[in-house]
Amino acid sequence: MKKTPVNPAAHIEAAKPEFVPAKYDSRSIALDVVSALARLALAAVWLYSGWQKLTDPMSTRLAVRSYELFSDDTADLIAIILPIGELVLGVFLLIGLFLRFSAFISQILLLLFIVGIGSAWARGLSIDCGCFGGGGADGAVTWWSYLSEILRDMAFLVLAWVVFRWPFRRFALRG
């Protein structure tokens, strides 16, 4: 029987990866960082917005009614539910619970906000959007006010899309 020579370093050579796995390449790391930042930024938006509305329920009620899209009873119900929903979304995004679901609901909510602001603008209403508290009639509102609010919400929509598309699951409870 012929013995083959044993290479004592063979197990070390075999353990060396020939390539870096895809989940650790620079593109994936960059996407993780972008997604994490988007997630935290969107969480901050929802937490701040929800808190401002929750701590001033009368202004929130006035803001929702000012859009003239719903009956007073429906607007009052929205004014109660909206801040709680925003806070829940913010907490979910912050701790990483139900990331894709939270990002999806964020996208729907932001689209509704964009439609609401656009509707108020198109109908010639002069109102503060009430997005971060306050709201109601505002004579100082200009076309730029509406456009900047829509552009801002579109930027938030992009953040929500990034979180939905590439949910960063490190430091998250569940994805």
Q: What pTM value is reported for the model?
A: 0.81
| Closest alpha carbon to 120 in 104, 98, 135 | 135
Q: What is the pLDDT of residue 162?
A: 96
Q: What is the pLDDT of residue 52?
A: 97
In the chain, what are the domain boundaries?
23-165
Q: What is the pLDDT of residue 138?
A: 85
Residues of the chain with pLDDT under 70: 1-24, 171, 174-175
In whole angstroms, give the CA distance from residue 171 to residue 150.
Answer: 32
